[in-house]
Amino acid sequence: MTTAQGRGLFLTFEGIDGSGKSTQCRLLAEHLRALGREVILTREPGGSPGAEEIRRLVLEGDPDRWSAETEILLFTAARRDHLERTILPALAEGKVVVCDRFADSTRMYQGLSRGDLRATVDKLHALMIGREPDLTILIDMDPTTGLSRAKGRQGTEERFEDFGLELQEKMRAGFLSLAAEFADRFQVIDGARPIEAVAAEVAEVVEAALVAQA
């Protein structure tokens, strides 16, 4: 949709736990605002009041609290609410939506971590979400570094971080093959560099996408 400030752009960040994508999301939002764009900075699971309530259900507590199938339903329910109430209205107003994780995280964490449930994730996504980002930035990094950063935070949202290094290795490989599968919308950026260097490359890639869209 066209407005005074142009069409909305839907950007997502993906990566393993501790890859630094949340920091990069924030820096990108600040950068785009400085360029005069209206930006909505949001995250998954969460990003709307209802979805934030679901976030607590899925991220806190025992790692075995939910089966992978139940998680797919919970993450998709949260995403549907987030899409309806936050993402689509912002895009319709021509804003740039910067979202920390989206459906690619479900494809990986629920689709790969406990057996192969990717087809189930994709079916539910097609039925209930049916929307992919315009651009997805994968912050790629070695899981040993990522996990030590994530664990250093000492939070309560550790259900997935508790899965350990082996799972994170699998997630990293999975994200890289997802980037190849959806090569039209993915950009892979090396996250094992100083924050400013990563941020500069993110800004370059996003500005190119904004120009291409104009």
Total number of residues binding ligand TYD (CB under 6 A)?
17
Q: How far is the CB of 176 from ligand TYD (least distance, A)?
A: 16
CB distance 143 to 172 below 8 Å: yes
Among 10, 109, 175, 186, binds ligand TYD (CB under 6 A): 109
Of residues 160-189, those binding ligand TYD (CB under 6 A): 160-161
Say whether 137 sits in a helix, a strand or coil.
Answer: strand
**What are the structure tokens assigned to 34, written together?**
């400085």
Question: Which H, E and C letters describe 70-90, residue by residue?
Answer: HHHHHHHHHHHHHHHHHHHHH
Ranges assigned E (strand) in the chain: 9-14, 39-43, 96-100, 135-140, 186-190
Among 105, 111, 147, 198, binds ligand TYD (CB under 6 A): 105
The verdict on 106 binding ligand TYD (CB under 6 A) reads: yes
Q: How far is the CB of 209 from ligand TYD (least distance, A)?
A: 22
Of residues 136-165, those binding ligand TYD (CB under 6 A): 150, 157, 160-161
Tell me how far the alpha carbon of residue 108 is from its chain's centroid.
11
Residues in contact with ligand TYD by the rule CB under 6 A: 17-18, 22, 44-45, 59, 75, 100-101, 105-106, 109-110, 150, 157, 160-161
